[in-house]
Copies of this chain bind each other. A is one copy, B any other.
Amino acid sequence: MLDHNKIYNPLSNFNKAINKLSANGIRPTKQRMILAKLLFEKGKRHISAEDLFDEVREEDRKISLATIYNTLKQFTSLGLIREIVVDQNKSLYCTNKESHYHLYIEDENKVIDIPTKNIDLNIPSIPACLKLHDVDVIVRIRTLKEKYKN
């Protein structure tokens, strides 16, 4: 059921997402709507499949992990969210639609958005013909002590 917020805010990220789904012939099923709400009605997020799975349960609903993974992949293909690979055992999904990069603090397993203007890329080695589709920048910082001596 629609609430007033959505009725009077036709350009919300949630509504844009739903529009994009139908524009691509993808059915607005119960599961997709629940996930879209969690992703797009809570501000900018960096969230994992497992996190979403838990949030769905907290609402006393249930969506299988497989469906969550498949939906996240689909939303990513549609450009509704961005996947950030922070380490080999975890992908996070980012709902910030503005142009930005990511700062990953390994010790805390935490991701912070960095405005694009804060990083100047000067990469003459990219062939001019490459026609970039997307550029992700992950700045990974560690504060760990060295484990071995010099």
Which of B126, B140, B143 contacts A103 (CB under 8 A)? B126
The residues of B that contact A79 with a CB separation of less than 8 Å are: 146, 148
The residues of B that contact A148 with a CB separation of less than 8 Å are: 20, 24, 77-79
Q: A137 with B134: in contact, given A120-B119, A125-B112, A146-B79 (CB under 8 Å)?
A: no
Copies in the complex: 2
B131 and A141 form a contact (CB under 8 A): no
Main secondary structure on A side of the interface with B:
mixed
- Which residues of A from 52 to 97 have beta carbons under 8 Å from B? 77-79, 85-91
B133 and A145 form a contact (CB under 8 A): yes
Size of the chain A interface, CB-CB below 8 angstroms: 47
B114 and A149 form a contact (CB under 8 A): no
Give 1 or 0 for each of A109-147: 1 = CB within 8 Å of chain B CB.
000101000111111111000111111111111111111
